[in-house]
Amino acid sequence: MNSKEIAKLAGVSRSTVSKIVNDYANVSDKTRKEVIEVIKKYGYVPHASARNLAGKFNKMIGVFITDVNHDSKKLRVIESDYFSPFTTAAIDYADELGYNVLVLVIDKNREFEKARKLLYNKTVSGGIFIGAENNVQEIFKLIKSGCKLVIIDQEKCKDKTLGKHIIVNSKNLEGAYNATKHLIEYGHKNIAHICGDMNKFSGLKRLEGYKKAMIEAGLPIENECIVEGDFTENGGYESAKKLLKNNKKITAIFASSDTMAIGAIKAIKEMGLVIPDNISIVGYDDIKIASYISPSLTTIRVSILNMVSIAVKSLVDFIEKDIKSSKYNTVPTELIIRESSKKII
Amino acid sequence: MNSKEIAKLAGVSRSTVSKIVNDYANVSDKTRKEVIEVIKKYGYVPHASARNLAGKFNKMIGVFITDVNHDSKKLRVIESDYFSPFTTAAIDYADELGYNVLVLVIDKNREFEKARKLLYNKTVSGGIFIGAENNVQEIFKLIKSGCKLVIIDQEKCKDKTLGKHIIVNSKNLEGAYNATKHLIEYGHKNIAHICGDMNKFSGLKRLEGYKKAMIEAGLPIENECIVEGDFTENGGYESAKKLLKNNKKITAIFASSDTMAIGAIKAIKEMGLVIPDNISIVGYDDIKIASYISPSLTTIRVSILNMVSIAVKSLVDFIEKDIKSSKYNTVPTELIIRESSKKII
DNA sequence: CACGCGTTCGAACACGTGTTCATAATATAT
DNA sequence: ATATATTATGAACACGTGTTCGAACGCGTG
C-alpha cells in the first residue's frame, strides 16, 4: 500500500494525499476527511525510508553507550545500572518529542565504527554518547564532519575549530566535594578515596573534589589513602582490601561510584569490620541497589532524568532548528544520607 | 558524498561502486582495491534509506516493551529490572547478526499505534513484543497483515488462520511448581501465593504451577491464601499485609515475581516478623536485586539470555529466509536457593 | 588476426515519497 | 454575470541506491 494506491482508491491525486498526510493547507475539509477515511481503512503508513530519502530528516536518534568492561559473552550486570535508567529516560524524552531511539553498545568487540556508520548513512539524525572517554578523538572527528552530537560527562573542548556540539555534565567536582565534606562533618579525619578510571573525566573530577574538601578542612592528602578502582565492583573490592590492610587508621571511605562502594562493602564485611560502626562509606551515582543493599548506601545522586532531558531536548533542537554555537550544560547533584555513614563519637 | 561522486573520484562507473560495496563478482582485484581506497578516504557510507528503498530490507528490529505500570513523568524503577537485561541482551544478540535495535516503550500514554507504524512504514523489519498481554488482539492483527513478530510469554494461539509468528516462553508452570515444591520439601504446609496479573499468561501459569505442587503434596488450596498482587512492589507489599493479617498459620509465601517478593519482604519486616525464621519467601525471575537484598532472595531464575537469544535468532531467520510455519519455543527455569527460605524444624 | 572471456561502462528503470508549478475546475463574493 | 479566491490536478523532478543488460573494451591464446 502506497500513496499512489491510496490516491486511486480515494479518487484524488497523489499530491493531495501527500498534502493531507503532511498537514498542508489548500485541501477542503471534505476531501481531507474522505482521504483520511481511506488511509485508515487500508492502514496506510508512508514508507519511512522513502520519506527520509525525499528530504525529510529521520526522527531517530542514537544512544551510544560505551561499556569498556563488558564481555559480550555474559550479560552486563553492574554496568547496566547506569545504562538502564539512562536509556529508558532517553527513550521516554525522545518519544515525547516524536523521536525514536536506536541503542548501540560499543565495547571492545563492537567497534566505534558502527556508530559512525549509523550517523553517516543517516539512519539516525544525531546521537548521544555516554561513557565514551576512550573515543573522544573519534567523536571529535564526527563533529568536525558535521554530525550532530551530545556528549555526556566530557570536559569542555578548547579547540575552537571543533564544530558545533553539545556537552552535558553533572557537577562531578561539587558532588565529590560534598560527599567528602559530609564525612568530614561527621567527624572523620582519616578518609580514604577509591577513585575511578583516571582517563575518565568523571574519575578525575571526583578525585579533585575529594582533594578540595580535604585541603579545605586542613586534612592531609596521603597517597596511600587513594587507590584506583576502575569503576567496577571488583575494583572496589580489591581497593578496599588494599586500603584497609595497609592503613589501620582509616575510618571512612569515599568511593567514586556506588558500584565500587558495593565491592568495598563486601571486602569490609569479609575483613570482619562493621559498617558504619567501624567504617563509614559513601558512594556516588545513587544507583538503584544503593537503597536496597544492607546497610543502605549514603551516596551522591546524579539526576539522570535531568541530564537526559537536557541532552535529548538540545539534540532535537540541534537537529530541527540548528544551534548558533556549542552548548555546555551542567546539572547539580544531591547528597543522599543513608545508613552507611555515621558520626564519629 | 554518494556513490556517484565516489565513482567519479575513482574513475569508475556507479555500477562498479555498487558491485564493490555489495561484494559482487566481476570486479578485478585492482579496481576493487582502488575504489575501496577512495571510499575509505572520503568516508563514504551508502545512504541507509536509499538502500532500504531500493529493495534491500532494513537490518533493524524493534523491541517493544509494554510497561503498564509506568507513569511517564517518573523514571521507571522496579519495572526496569526486567526491561533492562532483556533489552541489553537483545541489542547484543542483534548486533552479532548485524542488526540494530530500536527500543519502544508502550504504556498508557504511548499507544500501541506507534509499534504498528514502525512496522508498517518499514522502519523495522520485524519486532519482539514483551509483556504485551493487553495488546494480544492488536498483535494478532499485525501478524495477519504480514508483520514478522516474536512474542515473549504468550500462550500458543489455536487460531489456524493466524499468520506465521514466533512465540518464546519460559516454563512458567514448571518454575512455579518447583518453587512451591521447594517450600514443601522444606517442611512448609501453610504456603500462601501472591500471584501476578490474572490477565497475563505468566501470572496464570505460575498460579497453576503453585496449585499443582500443592495438590500433588496433598495440601489444601485455600482461597484466603491466594492474593493478587499485579506484579508491582506495592502490590506485593499490600498482598503480604493482607495475607498475614488474616491468617496466622502461614509459614511461607511464594510470590509470582521478585518485585512482589521485595514488597512482601518490606511488609513482613514492618510487621515485626523475621525472614526466614518466621516466614520463608520465594520469588520469581531472579532480578539483580534478588541477590543484593537482605535476606537474599530464593527465586526461580529465568534465563533471559536464553530467551532473547532464541527470540532474536528466530526473528532474523524469519526476516531473511522466511520460515515454513509458526514456531513455539520454551526455555527451562532454575531454582536458586538463597537466604530467604529455610527448613521448618 | 580472430576469438573468447573477464571486466567495465552507461543507460535505464524501480523503489515511495516530498515538492513545486502551471493549469483547470469549482465555489464564493461582488 | 463577472471577478476572485479556493481547491485540486497531473506532470515533473529530486532523493541515493540496487539491479539489469547490451555494448564496448582489453587481454591473452590459438
Helix, strand, coil in percent for chain B, rounding step 5: 45, 15, 40
Same domain? A139 vs A68: yes
> H helices within chain A, ranges in order?
3-10, 14-21, 29-42, 48-53, 80-96, 113-120, 136-144, 172-185, 201-216, 233-246, 258-270, 289-292, 304-321
Question: A292: number of CA atoms within 13 Å, CB side?
Answer: 22
Same domain? A154 vs A179: no
Does a structural domain hold residue B337?
no
Same domain? A17 vs A71: no
> In Å, what is the separation between the CA of B13 and the C1' of C10?
8
Residue A88: pLDDT band (50, 70, 90) is: confident
Specify the nucleotide whose C1' lies closest to residue A25 (CA).
Answer: D7
Pairing verdict, β A252-255 and B327-331? unpaired
Same domain? A187 vs A210: yes
- Which pLDDT does position B226 carry in this prediction? 96
Residues A75, B53: C-beta atoms closer than 8 Å = no
- Which pLDDT does position B335 carry in this prediction? 98
Cα–Cα distance between B79 and B67 in angstroms, integer? 7
Does a structural domain hold residue A277?
yes
Domain membership of residue B99 as a residue range:
60-170+304-331
* CB proximity B69 to A under 8 Å: no
Q: How far is CA A337 from the centre of its chain?
A: 23
Does a structural domain hold residue B336?
no
**B126: enclosing H helix or E strand:** strand B126-130
Does a structural domain hold residue A344?
no
* CB proximity B84 to A under 8 Å: yes
- Which pLDDT does position B68 carry in this prediction? 54
Residue B76: pLDDT band (50, 70, 90) is: very low
* CB proximity B295 to A under 8 Å: no
Cα–Cα distance between A320 and A148 in angstroms, integer? 11
Q: For B102-146, what is each residue's pLDDT tens digit?
A: 999 887 666 899 999 999 999 999 999 998 888 899 999 999 999
Assess whether pLDDT exceeds 60 at residue A78: no
**B92: enclosing H helix or E strand:** helix B80-96
C-alpha cell at A94: 525522545
Q: Which amino acid is at A93?
A: Y
Q: For A183-196, what is each residue's pLDDT tens digit?
A: 999 999 999 999 99
> H helices within B108-220, ranges in order?
113-120, 136-144, 172-185, 201-216
Same domain? A308 vs A292: no
Q: DSSP assignment, residue B294?
A: S
Assess whether pLDDT exceeds 60 at residue A167: yes
* CB proximity B259 to A under 8 Å: no
Does a structural domain hold residue A108?
yes
Cα–Cα distance between A17 and A7 in angstroms, integer? 6
Taking CB atoms and an 8 Å cutoff, what residues of chain B touch A110? 95
CATH code for the domain in which residue B191 is found = 3.40.50.2300
User: For B289, which of A83, A88, A289 is closest by C-beta distance?
Assistant: A289
- pTM, 2 dp: 0.88
Residue A46 Cβ < 7 Å to strand C? yes
Same domain? A187 vs A240: yes
Same domain? A188 vs A114: no
* Domain total of chain B: 3
Same domain? B111 vs B149: yes
CB A3 within 8 A of CB A18: yes
Q: If you write DSSP's letter for every residue of A256-315 in order, what string do you get?
A: SSHHHHHHHHHHHHHTT--TTTT-EEE-SB--THHHHSSSPPBEEEE-HHHHHHHHHHHH
Does a structural domain hold residue A51?
no
CATH code for the domain in which residue A22 is found = 1.10.260.40
Q: For A176-234, what is each residue's pLDDT tens digit?
A: 999 999 999 999 999 999 999 888 889 999 999 999 999 999 999 999 999 999 888 99
Does a structural domain hold residue B15?
yes
